[in-house]
Amino acid sequence: MKHLFCISSPFQADSARRIIGHYGLPSEEVRILLFDHAFGRDHERVLCSLGELAGQLEIRHITAKTNALSRRLRFVFREAPEGNFKVYSGDWRNKLFKFFALHPGFRGFIAMDDGTASLVIAEQAAKGRQKMFAGLARFRPLFISRYPLKTLCPSLEVISLPTACHQKPLDTNAVLFIGCCVVEKGIMREEDYQQQLACARAAFPHQRIVYYPHRSEQSRTLPEGFERVDPAVPIEHWFEMQPSPPAGLVSLFSSALINLASDYPDIRAFYMKPTADRILKRSDDIERVYHWLECLPGFTRLPEIHTP
């Protein structure tokens, strides 16, 4: 049996690493197909997310020349010509994902966690709005996820992805602020974003606040009392690397709040929702994350404190 992991983001690489470790898949039977979406600045982050596996597994780079679905399929079947293989993919935009998910006779496809995109696809499958998502509900591919996807779409077959890291002792004296690239994307002004940081500092006056910037953020001056870390790996992987991760999380609308809270049930997760006058433009993605934060259990909204 060969296991082919289609990877195009650091988060998918992190999920692949957890799945390979959890099921003890032999390295000689695993192939990583690294699609060109992950090239550029995310390439090293993908390799970091794979951890030690990056030096143990065979990694094939799928370039733009093999982007056509027919070429990708030929590549997959060339990797496992006897047909005894499973395909793992977490990129819902991936042409291979769509082919295997919608193929009624194929049962070797496994939908791998892709951050909160997993929640999106479960919602869409439940509503049956598009052929692809309706097909997922009909053909019932197997999902490996850390999220309660069956609550959104009961027809999906979901296997929970347990992690051992949630047993780690948490640092009750530390809070992690998960940065957002809201200024860079024109969603907020710098002074308004700084106001949110000041509010977080005021909400946790007796604890260390560690700032984890978004990979698309520009370097900025932080308020007094903040400690900065370098995002060399996805935040979920960074958390797992810490001997005692922060016991508190706070952010605006980062989906990483949901990811980490699902892995560490003892964490206290807080979100901040700026007033309408501080938001220059809205998006469906932002509103969706806020909807989940307001509806899913375990998340507390911090009041906006006006600081001088």
Separation of first and last alpha carbons in the chain? 62
- Residue 132's nearest CA partner among 95, 163, 86 is 95
Q: What is the pLDDT of residues 172-193, one digit of tens each?
A: 999 999 998 889 989 889 999 9
The mean pLDDT value of the chain amounts to 78
Give this prediction's pTM: 0.71
Integer angstrom CA distances of residue 293 from 86, 254, 269, 284, 300: 34, 10, 10, 14, 8
Q: What is the pLDDT of residues 247-298, one digit of tens each?
A: 999 999 888 888 888 778 788 999 999 888 888 887 777 888 888 888 777 8
pLDDT range class, residue 61, cuts 50, 70, 90: confident
Residue 73: enclosing H or E segment and its boundaries? helix 69-79
Q: Who has greater pLDDT, 237 or 181? A: 181
Q: Does residue 299 carry a pLDDT above 80?
A: yes
Q: Does residue 134 carry a pLDDT above 80?
A: no
DSSP state of 112: E
Residue/partner pairs of 92-96 with CB below 8 Å, 24 or more apart: 92/117, 92/120, 92/121, 92/132, 94/6, 94/8, 94/35, 95/67, 95/69, 96/6, 96/69, 96/72
